[in-house]
Structure 1
C-alpha cells in the first residue's frame, strides 16, 4: 500500500485482464450479430444510366420482385400499410369514411342557405358601403 500522499498503487495487470474478460463475456452475452442486410426502402434511390459502350450495363437484367414490393409498400399511405394506427397522431383521420352518407335530398341533414328580406337588404347595404370605401 502507498504510505505517502499522492502515490498510487502499482497497476495490477491480472485484475485488469480479468475485468476486461468479464466485460467482453457480458457484451457477447447481450449482443446479437446482425447478418441479414437489405436496402433501406425509405431512402430515395437515384438510378444512373449505364455507360453507352459497355455491354455489361446495357444488358437487360432481372428485376428483383421482393425489392420492388418493399419499395411499393414503403411509398403507400399508412392507412394502406397498417390495419390500425401506429401512433396517437395517426388516430385523427384514420377512418376517413363518413359515418352517415350525405344525401342532399334529406332535409334533416342538408340545410341550404336561405335569405330573408332583412338579409337581402343588409347584403345590399354592405355592398354599397364597400363600394364607397373603395372609392375613397
Structure 2
C-alpha cells in the first residue's frame, strides 16, 4: 500500500532563455496594438457647477461662445430618465415608468375620491394632542441621565 502512494510530479526546470523570448514577444504585441488617445472631452453625464469667470479678466473682453452641441448634451444629461429615453433602461426603472393616469380624475365622483372626514371623536383627539404634545424621546432620556449624574 505504501508503494502505491502518488509521487509528486517533477516540473521541468525553468528555462530563462524561453521566458525572455516570451516576454519579448508579449511586449512586441502590446506595442503593436497600442494607440495614443488624443481626443479628450468632458463627461456630460456628471453634474457640474457653473464656474464664474476669472477675477483678473474684464467681463467686456470675455467672449466665450459655448459649443451648442455641448450645451445640448449637458441639458439632455440633466433630464429625468422618462424624458431622456423612450423605454426604461433597467428593470428597476420599469416600476413607475408610466406615470400618466389611466382614467381622468373627477373630484365629484365618489367612487374614486375619498376625502378626509372629521368626526366628533377625531376632532376631540386632535385638540387633545394640540394641548398635550408628545415629548421627544431624547429629551426624556437626557433628563434621566442628568438626574443620575447629579445623584452620583
- Normalised to the residue count of structure 2, the TM-score between the two structures is 0.55
Q: Distance in 1 between matches of 2:26 and 2:107?
A: 73
Structure scoring higher RCO (CA < 8 A, sep ≥ 6) equals: 2
Tell me if structure 1 keeps the 8 A contact 2:88–2:94.
Answer: yes
Structure-2 change in CA distance of 1:103 and 1:11 (3 Å) = same
Q: CA deviation at 1:109?
A: 2.7
- Selected match of 2:93 from 87, 90, 95: 90
Q: Which runs of 5+ in 1 are unaligned?
A: 1-8
Instruction: Give deviations 1:71-102, integer Å, cap 9, x for gaps.
Output: 11111111111111112221221111111111
Provide the rounded CA distance (Å) in 2 between the counterparts of 1:81 and 1:110: 33
Residues of 1 paired with 2:31 and 2:87: CA distance?
37
TM-score in terms of structure 1 length? 0.60
Q: Is the 8 A contact 2:47 2:78 kept in 1?
A: no
After superposition, the Cα gap between the structure-2 partners of 1:127 and 1:37, relative to the gap in structure 1 and judged at 3 Å, is closer
Match status 1:99 vs 2:102: yes
| Deviation at residue 20 of structure 1 after TM alignment | 1.6
Cα distance change on mapping 1:32 and 1:43 into 2, 3 Å: farther
Task: Tell me what 1:23 maps to.
Answer: 26
| Number of residue pairs aligned between Structure 1 and Structure 2 | 117
Gaps of 5+ in 2: 1-12, 133-152
Over aligned residues, Cα RMSD in angstroms?
Answer: 3.7
